[in-house]
Structure 1
Amino acid sequence: MASKTRTYERKKLLGQVYTPPHIVEKILRDSGFYDADLTNKKILDPACGDGRFLVPIAEHIIKITPTHQLTDRLNQIYGWDIDPEALESCRMNLNGLIEPLGISVSWNLKLCDALKQLRRRLKFDLIFGNPPYIRIQHLPISQRTFIQSHYNFCKKGSTDAYIAFFELASKLLSRSGTCGFVTPNGFLTSETGKPLRSYFLQNNKIKQITNYGSVPIFGNTATYSAITIFGNLDQENFVFEQCESAVLQYKKRQIQHSELPALRPWQLSVSTSEHIEGQRLGDVCQISVGLTTLADDYYLFSIISEDENIVYAKSKSGMLVHLEKSILKPIIKASKLKLSTDPVTEYILFPYQKDAAGKQRIIPENDLRVQFPQTFSYLLKVKPALERRDNGKPNAVAWYAFGRAQGLDSTFGKKIIFSPMNLAPNFVLYENPDVTVYSGYFIKYDGDYDALLAQLNSRRMAEFIAVAGRDFQGGYKGYNKKIIENFIIKLPEQL
């Protein structure tokens, strides 16, 4: 997208990521650009940067077009960008192509915020690009508000600007137009990608999806990518490609639009899924996130020494303090847990007590001061840090309460613990009821835990996650609740 002279900070701010030439070539080829009759075809890159798409587009037009028609054809190319430096580089790169030809072109390059061009009447036959990758909460508030109020795909949640570019393209395409984008692949499975998936599903518009999974096509950037090609004509099926290796070997198959689930993440695979009789894990189990303090450095401790009632402990922030032993609970970090025999090495300051109904309630401040004076003294020292949590938003429960209330009642007891990220399935049955958990998820089940554990750590789970899980560096896959709850569990009578 952008000029190579851009600093890292500027690229990050504008969501700019370079598009490798082989990816540009693939998008153009798979979209049918090289075989198309380009007579009177308007072509747009809505985030053109220095011309990564527009330059090869212009090169091809120059190669196939008679000289007397060339200026008119090149005038059908449009590029928009919010960065004036990148746009000027694009103009220079395009001019470099035509200088040897002795012609002049007034390039249709526009300095603008592309997402504010939603209501343009001009339609485009071909739209290509690499939309900026930037979470909308990182945008200026005026830009964020505009996107959320004008783009149906982005009205809820912490979405990404590239999602809005899909909606922009859908509005700007001509009746028979085609769009090819390279973007993060998260929209295939994420909650924020649900409106985009619904659009594709309801309208049968997809022509091809190429998922690169954990194959890095943008160098060292932690971007896990997909190419999506869609249009305005109904498609009964589409091509799904999976990139299998860094040398860009692909496997593919045709997928019927009717195969896609309406409400769940898309678990796209190059092999036909085996139909498993059973129930969704989320329908038979309680899957929960561990304790979330939003300030682990001040709530988590390792114990140095202890006597009958008081411990001498070191917080994750490095503070050495005395605390009442009874206010500490043993805790396991799910993201580091490997075996059920892993020892407890951390304790959490747990300012809650059960009420008459057995629910965990915050200890009132006066009670905390009287019953736990050492702990209260410590909390006062770190109060400024606790009050900075959640962007300074006041905690509705108490200034010393955890940042989130989830898991307070359910995190104790027998449970299966799993990390949000792993190389392979590693679900660990942890039977000590006094130990709680953070930095991951846990499962509560009324049935046979051992039978469930065998299925969770099975090859079938690995294959399920290979398709459905989000990709991370080093071959790691995401094991989040939204994905895991869709895993099909065979019932006892089916085993």
Structure 2
Amino acid sequence: MKQSIFSFLKRNITQDSFLINRIFVSLYIENNKIDKYNHFISKYVISEKDTDYGELKKLLSFLKLQHVEGLKLEDMINLFEFVISPSNRIVTGAIYTPQNIRDYILKRCLNSFHNLYNIRIADIACGCGGFLMDAAKTIHSQTKKSYYDIFRENIYGIDIQPYSIERCHILLNLLAISDNEVADFNFNLLCADTLDFKSEMWNSNYSNFDVIVGNPPYVCGRNIKEETKLKTKRYKVCDSGSTDLYIPFFQIAIEMLKKNGILGYITMNSFLKSLNARRLRAYFMDNHFYISIIDFRGHQIFKGKSTYTCLFFLEKKKSNVLHYCYDGNANLNDPLCFNRIYLSSLDADKGWNLNEHEIATKIESVGIPLFEYCQTRHGIATLSNKTYIFSPIKEEDTYYYLEKDNEIYPIEKAVCKDIVNSNKLNSDTCFENILRKVIFPYHLDDKGKAVLFEEDFFRNEFPYAYSYLESQRNDLSSRDKGQTCKYPAWYAYGRTQSLVMPPVKLFFPKIANKPLTCIIVNDPNLLLYNGMAFVGNDIKHMKILQKILESNVFWKYVVSNGKPYTSGYYSLNGANIKSFGVPKFTEEEEFKLIQLKNKNEINNWIESFYE
């Protein structure tokens, strides 16, 4: 479908859900010259006598100008997914699954069944029903069973949104009608919150499935409603820390399956490494499920979405081996090569290193884990960096000058500290160019702990800084979704992390697309934001670490197992690098490493410790 149609809809489409459905159904009926349909579809068909005919005619005229002919059911799925409002998309995690992905998942799941006549297939977050439509078509094609019986006996859908269930009804009706089967169909489509599966009120008909397929909702923990968060705690895979909404959908699907049942998802690949998915990984390992993963890593499946995904298949039977395939181009038509990885070689808490598993395991077995070798610190969390952090437009003996919203504010130098965003580091960046100033309304007590200024002291000792922050008070009060009453004062940072740091700091970027360039700074007053640093008191210790982090071995580990992004970038956050093995050097070896200057010599020397 042409992109221009979506642009047109964005500018002109109504927000009335029922009218949207009427326009799209009428468009399909007219484009495909369907003159016979059932009672359900008839209520959506707009005629020239209807007051809504003008809206339909406007869209029809546009499509004729675009030379669009023959609207297909796949186009209907695209249209229905497109008109979901952005706010609903954030809350529900709805996203369109491309047809080739749906086809592959269904084919892979159904290949194990010799006869589909009595199969029970479900999508437990079905949206407008793309997977269910494909499943019905497959069953109809292979068994010659009527759609009337397939809808009643073989396919089941669940979704929390009434408009999704309504559109699923529409899509399945149109599927049958387009194949010249016209009847008043009965469906197994349940409008409910799938997270309520554990409740006593759950409809028992929606369980005991042979196959579950789908695309579980993509909602990160910070966007989940409190009521929903409480429901996720019913599930073992979510019983600690924060969780993303897709995670409990694994356990729910598995519990809904029959013995030897099959699950096929396209889902986030973050569960392989993320801290909040460690219970999920343990759940898979404890139950010894038969799992296959096709990992797309940095390849973007969903157009216009920075979403990193994989295909996940599980058979509800015992296995000691996980099968993993990296498919960086999502070219699912090619023969795929899977590596066999024993579950016993994986660590649920550390995260699963599946890509080049043997290399990663070898590197991790050397010496001690990186995060035990040296402590790390994340940056400060003002929760309003645009307010506190600035680049002076000029300075005098006593003041820096800050420009904001066309106003110039003097800020006392004595209330400021230097601060750096290590994420901006690369081989072409001068450290001084990424230094900024931060207003720091704290002092150190006798024990070296940061203590917030009393308000009278702040107002009297640093009147200009105080006055500037007061001018930004509305923005400061909006932090934490307005829940700033828990702060010790309105001008306090949102969090108290990293207000005091050891003097020696090794800065490195949090994402990179080539071997690292790290910088060591010995300054107890220098602060960090938007990144992470290794910290300590021993400059020699930090120089050794710098050589390791800038080495080819470390970059090889990052590329093999770090979280990939587009354009060849990889994440260097804690979960991705914490288990990297640092050799236990002797004093003589430490001295030699520090003396080495040539890059090739350094790399060759370090690689010898990793065989």
TM-score, normalised on structure 1? 0.91
- Read off the aligned partner of 2:83 and give its amino acid letter: R
Residue aligning to 2:161: 83
Aligned residues: 492
Supply the AA of the counterpart residue of 1:450: K
Structure 1 residues 467 and 371, CA gap change in structure 2 (3 angstroms): same
1:244 alignment partner in structure 2: 328
CA drift of 1:417 comes to 1.0
Give 1:143 deviation, angstroms. 3.4
Percent of aligned pairs with the same amino acid: 29
In structure 2, the partner of 1:448 is 541
**What residue in structure 1 maps to residue 372 of structure 2?**
283
In the other structure, the counterpart of 1:333 is 421
Q: 1:372 to 1:65 in 2, by over 3 A?
A: same
Are 2:108 and 1:30 aligned?
Answer: yes
**1:185 matched to 2:269:** yes
Whole-angstrom CA distance in 2 between matches of 1:403 and 1:70: 58
Does residue 202 of the first structure (1) align with residue 286 of the second (2)?
A: yes
| AA partner of residue 405 (structure 1) | T
Correspondence for 2:458 among 368, 386, 396: 368
- What is the Cα-based RMSD across aligned positions, in Å? 2.7
SS at match of 2:485: coil
- Greater relative contact order: 1 or 2 (C-alpha under 8 angstroms, separation 6 or more)? 1
1:324 matches 2:412: yes
State whether structure 2 residue 560 is matched by structure 1 residue 474: no
1:57 aligns with 2:135: yes
1:106 and 2:186 aligned? yes
TM-aligned CA deviation for residue 32 of structure 1 = 4.2
* Other-structure match for 2:299: 215
1:116 matched to 2:202? The reply is no
Q: Distance in 2 between matches of 1:135 and 1:288?
A: 24
Q: Is the 8 A contact 1:131 1:162 kept in 2?
A: yes
Deviation string 1:247-297 (CA, Å, 9 cap, x unpaired) is 456543111111211321111114522513210011110111012211111
How far the C-alpha of 1:314 sits from its partner, in A, is 2.8
Secondary structure of the residue aligned to 1:461 is: helix
Pick the aligned partner of 2:490 from 399, 402, 408.
Answer: 399
Q: 1:62 to 1:457 in 2, by over 3 A?
A: same
Partner of 2:83: 6
- Give secondary structure in 2 for the equivalent of 1:144: helix
Name which of 144, 148, 171 aligns with 1:93: 171
Show the 5 A alignment for 1:341-356. 341-344=430-433, 345-356=435-446
1:142 aligns with 2:227: yes
1:296 aligns with 2:360: no
- Report the secondary structure of 1:220's partner residue: coil
Residue 312 in structure 1 maps to residue 389 in structure 2: no
Structure whose alpha-carbon radius of gyration is higher: 2
- Residues 83, 365 of structure 1: alpha-carbon distance in 2 compared, 3 angstrom cutoff: closer
Once residues 233 and 488 of structure 1 are traced to their aligned partners in structure 2, the CA distance between those partners, rounded to angstroms, is 35
Structure 2 residue corresponding to 1:258, chosen from 331, 335, 344: 344
Cα displacement (A) at 1:198: 0.9
Work out whether 1:128 is the aligned partner of 2:213.
yes
CA distance in 1, matches of 2:346, 2:357: 14
1:176 aligns with 2:260: yes
Q: Which moved more, 1:342-351 or 1:26-35?
A: 26-35
For the structure 1 residues 397 and 492, does the alpha-carbon distance in structure 2 shift closer, same or farther, using more than 3 Å as the test?
Answer: farther
More helix by share: 2
Aligned residue for 2:72?
A: none
Deviations 1:442-463 (A, max 9, x none): 1024453232112112222223
Moved more, 236-245 or 80-89: 80-89
Bigger mean CA deviation after superposition, 42-51 or 464-473: 464-473
Q: Distance in 1 between matches of 2:82 and 2:426?
A: 45
How far residue 142 of structure 1 moved from its aligned partner, in angstroms, is 3.1
Does the CA-based 8 Å contact 1:16-1:132 persist in structure 2? yes
Q: How do 1:146-161 residues align onto structure 2 when only pairs under 5 Å count? A: 146-148=231-233, 150-161=234-245
Structure 1: which 5+ residue stretches go unaligned? Answer: none
Q: Tell me, what secondary structure is at the counterpart of 1:291? A: coil
In structure 2, C-alpha distance between the alignment counterparts of 1:391 and 1:102, rounded to whole Å: 53
- Which residue pairs with 2:51 in the alignment? none
Shift of 1:318: 5.8
The DSSP-based 3-state class of the residue aligned with 1:470 is coil
For residues 341 and 85 of structure 1, the distance between their equivalents in structure 2, rounded to whole angstroms, comes to 54
Partner secondary structure for residue 318 of structure 2: coil
SS at match of 1:431: strand
Q: Secondary structure at the match of 1:233?
A: strand
Amino acid at match of 1:231: E
DSSP-derived class of the 1:343 partner: helix
For structure 2, list consecutive stretches of 5 or more residues without a partner in the other structure: 1-76, 590-608
Instruction: Determine helix, strand or coil for the equivalent of 2:329.
Output: coil
Letter in 2 for 1:24: R
Report deviation, 1:72.
Answer: 6.2
Q: After alignment, is 76-85 or 228-237 more displaced?
A: 76-85
Q: 1:448 to 1:145 in 2, by over 3 A?
A: closer
CA shift in 2, pair 1:319/1:293, >3 Å: farther
- CA, structure 1 residues 256+408, in 2 after alignment: closer, same or farther (shift >3 Å)? same
- In 1, the alpha carbon distance for the partners of 2:406 and 2:485 equals 25
Name the SS of the counterpart of 1:450 in structure 2. helix
Q: Which residue in 2 is equivalent to 1:267? A: 353
CA contact (8 A) 1:300 1:347 kept: yes
Q: 1:62 to 1:261 in 2, by over 3 A?
A: same
Report what 1:461 is aligned to.
554
Distance 1:465 1:32, change over 3 A: farther
Residue 165 of structure 2 aligns with an amino acid whose one-letter code is: L
- Equivalent residues in 2 for 1:404-423, closer than 5 Å: 404-410=495-501, 413-423=503-513
